[in-house]
Structure 1
């Protein structure tokens, strides 16, 4: 290696300017071709996109050597990387990141459906050399992101509960990073899905909307536990009716009447999803998007990943049951003129108020337990501690995001303006507000079966 650090060339690997790959056959005859992606892996490795079995591919497998030219889109500086081929990956974080970027590049150039990533070829970088004879003078470096991250983390450290942390996180992204459309999703790893618990910048909050692992940039980031960033949007990674309809037709997602629309932009140009992880466990995903092409670069990815990691740490610190309840002020819940029917489907843990879908999953089971105990005993005060140890709820082994499920449930009840409400009354304690004229129905089978 030379004294030119590979990290300093990451802007040249964004794909804005095409890279050139040179190889030789057994007789030393050279072959030069354009390549879609040069991806930074670490300080000693890059990955090149393997899309076609052509002469370049045959040369690489024969000699296991290659040279690539990359160009900085700002300064036009060109660097030559001498490479030694190590392996081809057809799955995992590096492959998924490159697959997402390639889909965006193909869509941007009208080649969607033509470009398809067969593998990510991993190379060790033997040397880096400046190759250009001239270049533009670089603009003054703007080293502001570290200061932004520091201010953001300082503000987040002052949060005393999970709900304020969720809201302040998205507010900080807007004030400090200029990100106007973002959301936080929490993970249900046992069900291989994520659900939205907070959003900012959208016409509707979308609280409770779901994304399956592997679906779009959010689902891939969750499944692979790696940041996924796209600078040119592609239908393959879009959320909404088209993606959901395709998934249903292929049997990936069942056709159920219990869907909350995903609150994404209609025409995003850039998206980034960052996993929130604590001690190796996936807690959720921080997601941001923009109508601006190439809105998020490597520097933004690094900065936002630091914020996501800090969120994971704070989630863990705030998931403590401190039984220091504040005085409870009783307020009566207005009685409706008609009996309110709440239906529960144990098959998918979905809850309906009347025939209108409210929530499902663990949050649905929690609400059903609270309502059942309220109807049987009149009890209205509960603690998160008792929910964690209740075997009937069958909570996942890791239930650190139990508070997030309660926040989701409370927000859904508030948005629906239901006669049911959840109110905090202290750390780890909350009240259920429900009318006496309530009827509970436990329905056998799934919601889809009931609808047929």
Structure 2
């Protein structure tokens, strides 16, 4: 290029001036600082994005360091929550942000998304039976079918990667430099808060027995199948969960079937060698939240409810048959 010549024509209108962004950040920060549990913290973070920053589609993913992938624990703005859906490190905008530990912002995504979908369809068509079975256990990713803007910000605390905060939009150029700065600030507080909740003292005493009698069981028995190879769990042939959350679920069911027990603590799960849990940095609270939400969405006859800090209750409304495959 030797020179640039200006020509007459219409110019683009200046972008609308945005005001009150610092106040929005302050309001969201104050709300997040009052949260006392992971479930509340994630809900508060996503509602802050929606109400204060007008971000209608977002999700939080946590890191599974052992499997080198991320799993969705919370989302808003989508037809389905996608809780439990997984993304490998280095895969797409989210995976790259996690792998490189740096924000990734893209303003025109549609063509890349279509290419990615085409590649996935081609792999599915030529996959062997084992690979197709594994994909049958994949929980659908909740993202927009045709996003035009995306931004992914890593959650890092004390130098450790905890997960990713992700947002997207059907509009081109939705996220600018100021949006990135805001989301980096929010992600930093979210990561620090997760770390603090994770480090909080856990219950050391045995859980107290339930004060109320458990509800009478009725209806046909639920068939729960557990596959030890990857701790995947199916309820009446429908996939529920796998990995650490699947191992935890089966431990709860075994104890319940053996003694009728319903009350448990986070601490005893950490100390149970049979579960082969990763170290504390892998966030047991996130695994329990994932299991709780998958049960809410897929098995109305079994659910988990919190009964206090580090305590929870297993509620079973139908007879169970647990099979180890």
TM-score range, shorter chain: 0.7 to 0.9
| Preserved contact between residue 382 and residue 430 of structure 1 (Cα < 8 Å) | yes
Q: What secondary structure sits across from 1:314 in the alignment?
A: helix
| Preserved contact between residue 202 and residue 267 of structure 2 (Cα < 8 Å) | no
| Preserved contact between residue 334 and residue 419 of structure 1 (Cα < 8 Å) | no
Q: What secondary structure sits across from 2:30 in the alignment?
A: helix
1:149-160 equivalences in 2 (<5 Å): 149-160=25-36
Which residue is 1:316 aligned to?
195
Pick one of 64, 69, 76 that aligns with 1:193: 69
Distance 2:115 2:201 in 1: 36
TM-score by length of 1: 0.63
Report whether the alignment pairs 1:233 with 2:109.
yes
Which residue is 2:7 aligned to?
none
How far apart are 1:321 and its partner, in Å? 3.8
How far apart are 1:242 and its partner, in Å? 4.1
Q: What secondary structure sits across from 1:274 in the alignment?
A: strand
| Counterparts in 2 of 1:430 and 1:239: CA distance versus 1, 3 Å | farther
Distance 1:248 1:214 in 2: 20
Pick one of 35, 41, 58 that aligns with 1:165: 41
| Preserved contact between residue 208 and residue 263 of structure 2 (Cα < 8 Å) | no
Distance 1:317 1:393 in 2: 24
Which residue is 1:415 aligned to?
297
| Counterparts in 2 of 1:309 and 1:337: CA distance versus 1, 3 Å | same
Q: Which has the higher contact order (CA 8 A, sep 6+)?
A: 2
Distance 1:145 1:374 in 2: 50
Which residue is 2:166 aligned to?
287
| Counterparts in 2 of 1:33 and 1:305: CA distance versus 1, 3 Å | farther
| Counterparts in 2 of 1:266 and 1:311: CA distance versus 1, 3 Å | same
1:37-56 equivalences in 2 (<5 Å): none
**Structure 1: unaligned runs, 5 residues or longer:** 1-30, 35-74, 77-135, 444-452
Which residue is 1:144 aligned to?
20
Q: What secondary structure sits across from 1:358 in the alignment?
A: strand
| Counterparts in 2 of 1:140 and 1:426: CA distance versus 1, 3 Å | closer
Post-superposition Cα deviations, 1:179-207, rounded to whole Å, max 9, x if no partner, equal 01111111101101111111111111111
Pick one of 333, 338, 345 that aligns with 2:227: 345
Which residue is 1:307 aligned to?
186
Post-superposition Cα deviations, 1:265-305, rounded to whole Å, max 9, x if no partner, equal 12110011111111122111111000110100111111101
How far apart are 1:334 and its partner, in Å? 5.1
Which residue is 1:218 aligned to?
94
Distance 2:271 2:250 in 1: 16
Distance 1:240 1:428 in 2: 41
Q: What secondary structure sits across from 2:223 in the alignment?
A: strand
Which residue is 1:382 aligned to?
264
| Preserved contact between residue 326 and residue 425 of structure 1 (Cα < 8 Å) | no
Which residue is 2:319 aligned to?
437
TM-score by length of 2: 0.87
| Preserved contact between residue 321 and residue 385 of structure 1 (Cα < 8 Å) | no
| Preserved contact between residue 340 and residue 439 of structure 1 (Cα < 8 Å) | yes
Pick one of 76, 81, 92 that aligns with 1:205: 81
Flag the structure with larger Rg.
1
| Counterparts in 2 of 1:202 and 1:436: CA distance versus 1, 3 Å | closer
Distance 1:337 1:373 in 2: 21
| Counterparts in 2 of 1:338 and 1:395: CA distance versus 1, 3 Å | same
Which residue is 1:265 aligned to?
144
| Preserved contact between residue 328 and residue 425 of structure 1 (Cα < 8 Å) | no
Identify the structure with the greater helix proportion.
2
| Counterparts in 2 of 1:140 and 1:285: CA distance versus 1, 3 Å | closer
Which residue is 2:176 aligned to?
297
Aligned residues: 312
Identify the structure with the greater strand proportion.
1
| Preserved contact between residue 195 and residue 210 of structure 1 (Cα < 8 Å) | yes
| Counterparts in 2 of 1:210 and 1:32: CA distance versus 1, 3 Å | farther
